[in-house]
């Protein structure tokens, strides 16, 4: 790796660890940058962008960035919905053709997990999956592959985009005046994601428990 490549990679890692740096680096293009990242990560085949932390941080710093809060929320929600709709279309149009076992990002493994997630939770997966990296990107594609009803998809997509995009942005804005939040942003984001997916894990373990009880003789 050359010096320039190393510097570029270090900068990219810093953006993932500290999305505030990325937002400030975007300058006057910050709203466009946030919109593009949310759109891509919501279903357009590239799942490793800093989605949750970026949306939260954008709400946290919206005044410093010169952004109107409601314009920011509307932009994030609209781009989240649009990205998932594109993901649905990709799944419906191309199926599994874009995925392979040895791909760097579009691995069959990720798609299969998302398909199983969608098969188990149906339309709810479009809401719960919003808060889970990788799942957020691939569940709309899995829905398209499965031929899920388009109207139902659009409705669940709207609910998920509102709760994820609007919710995280509002939480970030509400907590923006607390220095502790700025100093522990990574831990706060992890906590948000953990709380978001906790119901999914609870339901999973309850499902396993019921299945085990049902298979026990005399149950």
Q: What is the pLDDT of residue 39?
A: 93
Q: Give me the helix-helix angle, 69-94 and 167-174, nearest 10°.
A: 150
The pTM score is 0.77
- Average per-residue pLDDT in the chain? 79
**In the chain, where the domains are located:** 3-215
Instruction: For 146-161, write each residue's pLDDT tens digit.
Output: 888 999 999 999 999 9
| Residue 200 pLDDT grade (very low, low, confident, very high; cuts 50, 70, 90) | low
Contact 156/163 with Cβ under 8 angstroms?
Answer: no
Integer CA distances (angstroms), 209 to 18, 120, 169, 199, in order: 40, 16, 36, 15
Q: Which of 159, 162, 87 is nearest to 123 (CA)?
A: 159
Q: What is the pLDDT of residue 35?
A: 94
Higher per-residue confidence, 101 vs 218: 101
pLDDT tens digits along 119-175: 878 888 888 888 877 778 888 988 888 888 999 999 999 999 999 999 989 988 988
- Asked whether the beta carbons of 115 and 145 are under 8 A apart, the reply is yes
């Amino acid at each position: 790796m050359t010096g320039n490549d190393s510097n570029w990679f270090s900068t990219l890692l810093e953006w993932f660890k500290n999305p505030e740096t990325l937002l400030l680096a975007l300058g006057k293009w910050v709203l466009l940058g946030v919109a593009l990242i949310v759109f891509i990560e919501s279903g357009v085949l590239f799942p490793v962008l800093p989605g949750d932390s970026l949306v939260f941080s954008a709400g946290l710093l919206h005044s410093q960035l010169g952004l109107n809060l409601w314009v920011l929320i509307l932009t994030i929600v609209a781009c989240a919905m649009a990205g998932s709709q594109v993901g649905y279309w990709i799944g419906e149009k191309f199926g599994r053709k874009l995925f392979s076992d040895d791909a760097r990002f579009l691995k069959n493994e990720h798609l299969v997990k998302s398909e199983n997630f969608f098969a188990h939770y149906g339309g709810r997966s479009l809401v719960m999956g919003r808060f889970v990296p990788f799942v957020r990107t691939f569940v709309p594609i899995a829905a398209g592959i499965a031929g899920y009803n388009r109207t139902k998809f659009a409705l669940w997509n709207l609910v998920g985009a509102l709760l994820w995009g609007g919710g995280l942005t509002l939480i970030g804005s509400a907590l923006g005046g607390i220095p502790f939040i700025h100093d522990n942003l990574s831990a706060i984001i992890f906590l948000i994601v953990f709380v978001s997916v906790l119901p999914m894990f609870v339901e999973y373990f309850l499902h396993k428990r019921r299945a085990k009880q049902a298979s026990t003789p005399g149950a």
